[in-house]
């Protein structure tokens, strides 16, 4: 489902790249959660890309379509109505400005907690006394996606041969888990309308970054725009698939695996043909959780590549940085010379 809103006419940011990336990459790792080799494929994908696609995920399609429909209703509202759910501090409705450190993009968004009651209160001002449809769709979706994320983390643990099986998933299942949910809408980009793909410029919808949490679960409509960075610094475009999910390794998971898994740098480019709607669950640990490489992942005399930190400390550091900054750089151990 795609809808059209009035294009933005403000200044744009441009992607820094030596060539215009237009071809969709067909080599994205694919994992079928119903297959017995899924845990090995997940580990391989996390080591090589920090990113993979999930099929046969078990999330009811009705949950997906209901939330997308509610998101479209919200983003189709007049700006004055949407702003009742803002300003983002950091939760709430935001438009173009991403965070408080100068990052901008062709995106409007809702950043929400995964706490049911908190979200209901926020949307009373937007939907009057009847936020139930939006909140019901939101809660059903988050519950199902969280369950899938935990299943994936347990398959990771099995693939890494570490015990207990829930060593990672328990961080998301904890009642104090600091997890978030984001709805993004990328309107048509007026600067790209009428241009061929060969002459179009790479206009930023959401700037390059890694996710600070443990795991991110992304789903979008069938509009292209998502790109990931490979180890050599080149960018590849991810073919959209509205029936599947994409998984990002986050910075915290990179640390927990002592760098064996790499958090994936990614970005979204604006589209001149169709608007894009995406939904992302960010699975995070409790604020007090200490993040350090798991001993069960370390081999023999292997040393930790990172200083121990709490999720609160890392979150605070991430919030004070720009999107493209190497946030983990502040916590890396300097090897003795």
In the structure, what pLDDT confidence band is assigned to residue 3 with cuts at 50, 70 and 90?
A: very low
Map residue 103 onto helix, strand or coil.
strand
Using the predicted structure, report yes or no on whether residue 191 has a pLDDT greater than 80: no
Q: Quote the pLDDT of residue 66.
A: 96
Residue 312 half-sphere exposure, CB side, CA atoms within 13 Å? 5
More confident residue, 143 or 2: 143
Q: Quote the pLDDT of residue 129.
A: 63
Q: Quote the pLDDT of residue 194.
A: 59
Per-residue pLDDT tens over the stretch 270-283: 888 899 999 999 99
Asked whether residue 157 is domain-assigned, the answer is: yes
Whichever domain contains 204, its CATH number is 2.60.120.330
- When pLDDT is averaged across residues 227-249 and rounded to a whole number, the result is 94
Contact 59, 80 (CB under 8 A): no
Q: What whole-number distance in Å separates Cα of residue 52 and Cα of residue 44? A: 10
What domain range includes position 80? 30-320
Asked whether residue 239 is domain-assigned, the answer is: yes
Count of C-beta atoms within a 10 Å radius of residue 149:
25
Asked whether residue 271 is domain-assigned, the answer is: yes
Taking alpha carbons only, the member of 266, 282, 280 closest to residue 213 is 282
Give the largest CA-CA distance in the chain.
64
Taking alpha carbons only, the member of 250, 254, 237 closest to residue 210 is 250
Name the domain count of the chain: 1
Map residue 328 onto helix, strand or coil.
helix
- When pLDDT is averaged across residues 208-234 and rounded to a whole number, the result is 95
Asked whether residue 11 is domain-assigned, the answer is: no
Q: What whole-number distance in Å separates Cα of residue 262 and Cα of residue 248? A: 9
Lowest mean pLDDT, pick from 97-106, 184-193, 206-215, 253-262: 184-193
Q: What whole-number distance in Å separates Cα of residue 292 and Cα of residue 171? A: 13
Taking alpha carbons only, the member of 74, 17, 39, 64 closest to residue 200 is 17
Per-residue pLDDT tens over the stretch 149-176: 999 999 999 999 999 999 999 999 999 9
Q: What is the mean pLDDT of the chain?
A: 88
Q: Write the DSSP symbol of residue 286.
A: B
Q: Which of 122, 265, 267, 276 is catalytic?
A: 276
Asked whether residue 240 is domain-assigned, the answer is: yes
Per-residue pLDDT tens over the stretch 14-70: 555 434 444 567 789 999 999 999 999 999 999 999 999 999 999 999 999 999 999
Asked whether residue 3 is domain-assigned, the answer is: no
Is 276 labeled as catalytic in the residue annotation? yes
Using the predicted structure, report yes or no on whether residue 5 has a pLDDT greater than 50: no
In the structure, what pLDDT confidence band is assigned to residue 4 with cuts at 50, 70 and 90?
A: very low
Asked whether residue 337 is domain-assigned, the answer is: no
Residue 259 half-sphere exposure, CB side, CA atoms within 13 Å? 12
Lowest mean pLDDT, pick from 262-266, 290-294, 299-303, 312-316: 299-303
In the structure, what pLDDT confidence band is assigned to residue 116 with cuts at 50, 70 and 90?
A: confident
Q: Quote the pLDDT of residue 202.
A: 77
């Amino acid at each position: 489902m795609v809808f059209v809103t009035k294009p933005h006419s403000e200044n744009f940011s441009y992607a820094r790249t030596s060539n215009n990336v237009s071809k969709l990459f067909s080599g994205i790792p694919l994992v079928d959660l119903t297959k017995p080799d899924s845990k090995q494929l997940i580990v391989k994908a996390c080591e090589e890309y920090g990113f993979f696609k999930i099929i046969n995920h078990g999330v009811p399609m009705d949950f997906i379509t209901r939330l997308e429909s509610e998101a479209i209703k919200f983003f189709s509202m007049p700006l004055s109505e949407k702003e009742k759910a803002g300003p983002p501090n950091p939760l709430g409705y935001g438009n173009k400005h991403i965070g408080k450190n100068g990052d901008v993009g062709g995106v409007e968004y809702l950043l929400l907690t995964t706490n049911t009651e908190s979200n209901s209160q926020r949307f009373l001002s937007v939907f009057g006394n009847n936020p139930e449809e939006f909140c019901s769709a939101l809660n059903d979706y988050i519950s199902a996606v969280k369950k899938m994320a935990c299943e994936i983390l347990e398959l990771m643990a099995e693939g890494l041969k570490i015990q207990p099986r829930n060593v990672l998933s328990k961080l998301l299942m904890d009642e104090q888990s600091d997890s978030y949910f984001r709805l993004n809408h990328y309107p048509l980009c007026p600067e790209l309308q009428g241009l061929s793909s060969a002459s179009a410029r790479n206009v930023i919808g959401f700037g390059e970054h890694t996710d600070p949490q443990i795991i991110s679960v992304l789903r979008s409509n069938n509009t292209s725009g998502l790109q990931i960075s490979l180890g050599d610094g080149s960018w590849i475009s991810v073919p959209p698939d509205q029936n599947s999910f994409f998984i990002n390794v986050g910075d915290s998971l990179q640390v927990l695996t002592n760098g064996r898994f790499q958090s994936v740098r990614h970005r979204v480019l604006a589209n001149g043909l169709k608007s894009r709607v995406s939904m992302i669950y960010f699975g995070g640990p409790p604020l007090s959780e200490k993040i350090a490489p798991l001993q069960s992942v370390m081999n023999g005399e292997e040393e930790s590549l990172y200083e121990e930190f709490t999720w609160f400390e890392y979150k605070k550091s991430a919030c004070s940085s720009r999107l493209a900054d190497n946030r983990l750089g502040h916590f890396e151990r300097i090897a003795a010379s």
